């Protein structure tokens, strides 16, 4: 489709006096993997429920696949894996997909083709007679993904898709997500596994107390503030005084038992400032032991956005 798959403007959701979402703006392009991060209670589930049409916004607008949220036209092309799904445990994998495929109006003959395909694709082929009550947590996640995909949706919401899945299974699910992206599908991913998010996402948004505090591509989020690690044999008193005098932002990275024990992450504003700091660090009596560049991880960006890993001045 032309234009964004998701378009959210000024979205606010109130529950009496509590604001779960506050002026959220969001745009997701087709054929991408978009990840939503945030602590428990940040508003992630509320936002997903609004986009699915389960909750109505208090203010603002939202469109999904070019239609107003909650419209029948939009719902027909959406797949959804909830975080805490509860499938009837008397079902087998095929009977569960038969049920959900029927709800979606897929013709019986076509359902049977898709059931076999998706069971194999999520790694449940050969277990057609096993009832869900006998499934492991990982198997339940796999059948949940299959039910979200059985009707060939254009937009798929995946809430913690690798929760409880072993490392091999997580790799298979990541590969599946990337295959879906190559097919032109759009994925809206909610996960606490930041390493997983970093491997598959095109763009990431961070919610904090209902507000969108950061949003952008991984390069934009992690590459905009290059930093350097200065490691000293002792306490670099002179170097700290220089950083204070120049107003250079930095973070202490001391760890018990680390060698060397005194490490500083420094954010020079320019190459000229960096060159000067290298010269001054080399002259510090504490003894400069090493110097290495550091790329911020998504975890760093996430924690700083939530105010849990603030940079400190010297």
Question: What's the rounded Cα separation, in Å, for the pair 170 and 187?
Answer: 16
Q: pTM of the full predicted structure?
A: 0.76
- Rounded distance, CA 241 to CA 98, Å? 69
β-strand pairing of 203-208 with 211-217: antiparallel
Residue 253, SS3 per DSSP: coil
Beta strands in 71-225 (DSSP E): 78-81, 155-159, 186-190, 203-208, 211-217
Cis peptide before 260 (omega within 30 of 0): yes
Contact by Cβ (8 Å): 243, 278: no
Alpha carbons 147 and 144: distance in angstroms, whole number: 5
294 pLDDT above the threshold of 80:
no
DSSP 8-state secondary structure symbol assigned to residue 105: T
- Residue 120: count other Cβ atoms within 10 Å of its Cβ: 12
> Each residue of 109-118: pLDDT tens digit?
999 999 999 9
Distance in angstroms (rounded) separating the CA atoms of residues 77 and 45: 20
Output DSSP code: residue 297: P
Q: How confident is the model at residue 261 (pLDDT cuts 50, 70, 90)?
A: low
Q: Which residues pair with 305 in a beta bridge?
A: none
Write down the architecture of domain 6-216 according to CATH: 3-Layer(aba) Sandwich (3.40)
Q: Is residue 60 pLDDT above 60, yes or no?
A: yes
Per-residue pLDDT, 128: 93
- Quick one: average pLDDT of 195-202? 88
Query: What CATH homologous superfamily does 227-295 map to?
Result: ACT domain (3.30.70.260)
Is 150's pLDDT higher than 90?
yes
In what helix (H) or strand (E) does residue 148 lie, and over which residues does it extend? helix 137-149
Domain ranges of the chain: 6-216, 227-295
């Amino acid at each position: 489709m032309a234009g964004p798959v998701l378009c959210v403007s000024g979205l606010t959701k109130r529950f009496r006096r509590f604001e779960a979402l506050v002026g959220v703006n969001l745009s997701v392009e087709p054929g991408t993997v978009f990840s939503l991060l945030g602590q428990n209670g940040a508003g992630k589930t509320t936002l997903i429920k609004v986009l699915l049409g389960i909750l109505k916004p208090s203010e603002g607008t939202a469109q999904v696949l070019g239609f107003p949220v909650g419209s029948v036209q939009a719902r027909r092309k959406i797949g959804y894996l909830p975080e805490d799904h509860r499938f009837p445990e008397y079902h087998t994998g095929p009977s569960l997909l038969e049920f959900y495929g029927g709800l979606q109006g897929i013709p019986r003959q076509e359902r049977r083709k898709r059931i076999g395909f998706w069971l194999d694709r999520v790694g449940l082929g050969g277990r057609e007679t096993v009832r869900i009550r006998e499934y492991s947590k990982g198997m339940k996640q796999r059948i949940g993904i299959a039910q979200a995909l059985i009707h060939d949706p254009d937009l798929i919401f995946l809430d913690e898709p690798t929760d409880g899945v072993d490392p091999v299974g997580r790799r298979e699910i990541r590969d599946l997500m990337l295959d879906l992206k190559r097919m032109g599908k759009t994925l809206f991913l909610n996960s606490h596994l930041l390493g997983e998010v970093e491997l598959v996402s095109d763009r990431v948004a961070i919610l904090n107390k209902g507000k969108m505090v950061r949003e952008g591509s991984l390069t934009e989020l992690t590459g905009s503030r290059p930093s350097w690690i200065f490691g000293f044999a002792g306490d670099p008193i002179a170097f700290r005084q220089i950083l204070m005098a120049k107003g250079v932002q930095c973070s202490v990275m001391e760890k018990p038992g680390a060698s060397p024990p005194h490490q500083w992450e420094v954010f020079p504003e320019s190459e000229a400032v960096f060159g000067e700091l290298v010269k001054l660090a080399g002259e510090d009596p504490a003894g400069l032991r090493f110097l290495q560049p550091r790329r911020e991880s998504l975890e760093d960006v996430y924690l700083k956005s939530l105010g849990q890993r603030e940079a400190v001045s010297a």
